[in-house]
A and B are shown apart, each in its own frame.
Chain A
Amino acid sequence: MTATDLIRMSAAELGAAISAGDTSSVEATTAYLDRIAEVDPEVNAFLHVDRDTALDQARAVDARRADGAELGPLAGVPVAHKDVFSTKDMPTTAASRILEGWRPPYDATVTARLREAGLVILGKTNMDEFAMGSSTENSAYGPTRNPWDLSRIPGGSSGGSSAAVAAFEAPLATGTDTGGSIRQPAAVCGLVGAKPTYGGSSRYGLIAFASSLDTPGPFARNVLDAALLHEAFSGHDPRDSTSVDAPVPPVVEAARRADVAGMRVGVIREFDGAGFQPGVLRRFHEAVELLEALGAKVVEVSCPSFDAALAAYYLIAPSEASSNLARFDAMRYGLRVGDDGTRSAEEVMALTRAEGFGPEVKRRIILGTYALSSGYYDAYYGSAQQVRTLIKRDFDAAFANVDVLVSPTTPTTAFPIGERTDDPMAMYLADLCTIPTNLAGSAALSVPCGLAPEDGLPVGLQILAPALADDRAYRVGAAVEAALADRDGGPLLARSPMAV
């Protein structure tokens, strides 16, 4: 088998080929490491790649298999890991200067579960600093580029992960979704990305941004691969007190089932019209018609409070961030600046944080500190929490009548690098359709639904499901994926300029 054969395979196929002895984890890992060496200088998806550590992991999986160990479906398959997850054997920076070169003393639960499942961690992927952003331009280590058009953003905050998978530098990647940071990059890179139910995947060892919203999830080139990765790292974790003690929804079974006959699908009225790129709406409407043709019952649903979701999110998330990021105090780990013997701890702290944090992180810390300060608390943070209740009620009312809701994942396709860096509000709009799910803690999936006619860039269909019913989103996503591949003569990603 050639390196190109290995890289073209889906993660499920590669796992099966390794299991059957047609190839090995070392061969597959070598193929991907070579691909990274070839294309990553252009894409900049990775902050850290360690060839020797990756190959050591691959050799260990091959040895376990040779010893007759029972291994899971992804054993030996490489994965790109977002640099927000702690890894004991690799640096973990959250793309911030304040953590440059830091090595955590323990693994995140998601990291540990990747290792237990035999996945080989190729390296750590670029991101917006502390996962704050929608373009990966807020990384302290330079922007990542979109493999469909290198002058455009790959989405964010998990843009290194989406670019790595879309550039065929990895078959799978991890991400975290706080306001859309998996679904939006998946959509603009032509990938599948899932935001699991809040608490369905562990936050232990994840560098915190907004604790009531942060959710680890998978990126893949197809729905089944995403489901396999979802199952590999999800499930109850006693070390995360907000982890849900319930079985993982049967997402792999749902991805294999891929049928929507008789399902009730609600189109969200508030995310269908003004402010959306025409080509995005066109592909979205085609996907809805496709669902109807496949036997789903489509109705229009109104969720009026969703109009205020973006505003509520940009109060709640910065408030939680301002508190979470207080731990970067220059005392126990990370950067320390100005400790010359004359300055107090408080002065050293303030100098370190000013130098170690980038502009967006500072903006959100100050915004959050404002929203939480006495005198403004009720007007801002308190009101935002009330909006959160209204959004949950909108979801509850909608899911009483439909099985899933659908919308475009993003209002536009990938925008040019640099276009929105001086305009924070324009940047925040990229998360318009994804935020309500985070505020409600429910599940969602983004699947590719074609290329926008005006710019030839990928469009994502977002499928929203109730909490702990993630499998419904996978079932619908897999049906759309199969029908579109039939219609178009193959998967969307095969049309990418960086496809192998």
Chain B
Amino acid sequence: MSAITRDEVAHLARLSRLALPEDELDRLAAQLDEILSAVAKVQEVAQGDIPPTSHALPLTNVHRADVALPGLSPDEALAGAPAVEDQRFRVPRILGEEE
């Protein structure tokens, strides 16, 4: 049995906001199946009551003093934008016709 189906890959591509053509979905499904079969090894090793590690350092709640620091000017913040209008990022429509 394969670890991942082509339909699942298509669903994941939608979740990831990647508009992938059909042939790319086929190729990815085969590759991801091979990769997932290999990385499933973690399930054999990670048995029992082992706490997870998400991070190498024992850091919690790193704060800085509540002091205003200089930030980017509007022009600097907008300098790399694909489209700008009235000192704002211009974006395509966000809501659908019926919303």
Residues of chain A touching chain B, judged by Cβ–Cβ distance below 8 Å, are 102-106, 198-199, 212, 238, 241-242, 244, 305, 307-308, 311-312, 314-315, 322, 326, 329-336, 339, 341, 343-351, 353-354, 357, 362-363, 365-367, 369-370, 373, 379-380, 382-390, 392, 424-425, 439-442, 467
Cβ–Cβ < 8 Å partners of A439 in chain B: 53, 56
B59 to chain A, nearest CB (A): 6
Does the CB pair A387–B36 fall under 8 Å? no
Cβ–Cβ < 8 Å partners of B24 in chain A: 362
Report how many residues on chain B are interfacial, defined by Cβ distance under 8 Å: 53
Picked from A305, A333, A345, A351, the residue with its CB within 8 Å of the CB of B19 is: A351
CA distance A388 to B46 in the complex (A): 9
Cβ–Cβ < 8 Å partners of A425 in chain B: 34-35, 38
Does the CB pair A362–B8 fall under 8 Å? no
Q: Does B16 contact A (CB under 8 A)?
A: yes
Cβ–Cβ < 8 Å partners of A212 in chain B: 54-56
* Pairs across A and B, CB under 8 Å, 26 listed: A104-B80, A198-B56, A305-B45, A307-B45, A308-B41, A311-B38, A312-B42, A315-B42, A331-B81, A334-B82, A336-B83, A339-B83, A346-B17, A366-B12, A367-B35, A367-B36, A369-B12, A369-B16, A370-B36, A373-B12, A380-B42, A382-B52, A383-B42, A386-B42, A387-B42, A467-B56
CA distance A370 to B10 in the complex (A): 11
Picked from A308, A331, A366, the residue with its CB within 8 Å of the CB of B9 is: A366
Nearest-CB residue, chain A, relative to B54: A385
Does the CB pair A386–B51 fall under 8 Å? yes
- Other CB < 8 Å A-B pairs besides A102-B80, A386-B52, 16 of them? A105-B79, A242-B59, A308-B44, A311-B39, A314-B38, A331-B81, A362-B20, A363-B28, A366-B18, A367-B32, A380-B36, A384-B39, A385-B52, A386-B42, A441-B56, A467-B56
Residues of chain B touching chain A, judged by Cβ–Cβ distance below 8 Å, are 4, 8-9, 12-20, 24, 28, 31-32, 34-36, 38-46, 50-57, 59, 62, 64, 72, 76-77, 79-83, 89, 91-94, 96
Does the CB pair A365–B92 fall under 8 Å? no
CA distance A92 to B37 in the complex (A): 36
Picked from A106, A199, A354, A369, the residue with its CB within 8 Å of the CB of B15 is: A369
Picked from B8, B35, B42, B55, the residue with its CB within 8 Å of the CB of A308 is: B42
